[in-house]
Copies of this chain bind each other. A is one copy, B any other.
C-alpha cells in the first residue's frame, strides 16, 4: 500500500475515537449523554434539511463537511461544556495542539485543507461557518427542549449565558433564531428550567 493511502487509513481509524467523547447533552427520550460523532452527524443532516434558512447563500457541501469535522480535536482536547468558564479559558490552546497532532496523520494537502476548514469554522466569519454554528447551537437545543430542559436545570444555567451563547445562532440564521431558538429559550425561562437573570 502506498504511503498516501496508508496515512488516510490511519486518520480514518484514529477519528473512531471521537465516538468516545461524551457531551453534556442527553439524547431525546431522557436518554444517555450524546457523543461528538453522533452530534456531528446530526448537525450535518440538519444543516442539509434546514439550509433554506441560512442568512446568506451557502455551499452546503462545505457546511456539512465543517459539521462533520469540527469536533475531531476533542479526541485529545475533550469536550468543553458551553457554560464551563474555567474550561473555556484553556480550550483554544488544547484544541490547537490536538488539531496539529490529529490532522497531521493525513497527507500534507489534506492536513492543510482540513485545518483551514476547522479554522474557518472557529472564526465564524464566513456564511458557511456561521450556518454551521447555527446547527451547533440548534441541535443540542432541540434535544434539551425535548427533555424538558433537563440539561439546563442540571447545570443551573442562567438566561444571560444562554442568550450570549445563542447570539451566534442568529448570525447564521435570523429566521431560526426568531422562530425556534428565542421561543424555546423564553418558554424554558418561564417554566423555570433556565434561571432568569
Contacts and interface: CB of A to CB of B under 8 A. Distances in A.
Given A1-B180, A64-B61, A64-B64, A15 B44 contact: no
A13 B50 contact: no
Contacts of A40: 41
Decide if the interface of chain A is mainly helix, strand, loop or mixed: helix
Contact of A31 (B5, B9, B20, B42): B20
Contacts of A35: 38
Contact of A41 (B38, B110, B143, B183): B38
B34 A27 contact: no
Given A20-B31, A37-B37, A61-B60, A68 B53 contact: no
A183 B17 CA distance: 24
A179 B5 contact: yes
Interface of A: 1-2, 5, 8-9, 11-13, 15-17, 19-20, 27-29, 31, 34-35, 37-38, 40-42, 44-46, 48-50, 53, 60-61, 64-65, 68-69, 106, 110, 139, 142-143, 146, 179-180, 183
